[in-house]
Amino acid sequence: MICFLLFFALPIVNSENLHEKQPNIIYILSDDLGHADLGFTGGRIETPNLDRLAKEGVLLKQHYVQPICSPTRSALMSGRYPIHTGFQHSVIHPGEPWGLHLDETIIPQILKEYNYSTHAVGKWHLGMHKWSYTPAQRGFDDFFGYYLGSQDYNTHIRGGGYDLRSDYWNKHGHFVDDVRYDLKGSTAQSFTLSAWWI
């Protein structure tokens, strides 16, 4: 199971409602996950934390997804069918010079207009051939994970290159792409720790 977690959270404070704040929003997109693979859907695998999130949050139970990851991600991020985002046929393979069109407004860009902080952990797989297509350039404050799909989760190598990254905007407002050669072994713990600190 490959998860792509999107976190959006920041209290809104203005002169009209000093004590109100907007809700935290967490999207969890899991590739290759069957309907009955979670506890709250009747599965045999115990998933108490996901069960609690499902019980206390909004659960999308009739959302149409595609049979492969990039089209599903493009639809989730843009709110448009993949045929309208250019992802109706395939995924992005290493070295391919394309991605989710830059004229597509995506979730983190919209939420930034409402003063949310935005964070992503997991697999991006929506473009990387130019910096303008990467998560931190598309509205996320930071991103930890892979730009491509079909990763080796122990070596972090895909298409002959190392692809585990920590992207963010530093305190001077400069974009930083930190390729994480220092993280060896399974990414599960790294993803969990990254999500924990958000």
Catalytic residues: 69, 125
Q: Which single residue is written with the structure tokens 């991020």? A: 77
Which token pair is 197?
A: 């600190």
Neighbour count for residue 70 (Cβ, 10 Å): 26
Tell me the three state secondary structure of residue 165.
strand
Q: Please state, in angstroms and as integers, the Cα–Cα distance from residue 118 to each residue in 60, 63, 114, 115, following that order.
A: 20, 22, 11, 9
CB 92 within 8 A of CB 72: no
Give the start-end residues of each E strand in 80-130: 117-123
Return the ∠ at Cα 192 (arms to 2 and 3), rounded to 5°: 15
Sign, CA dihedral 73-79-85-87, equals positive
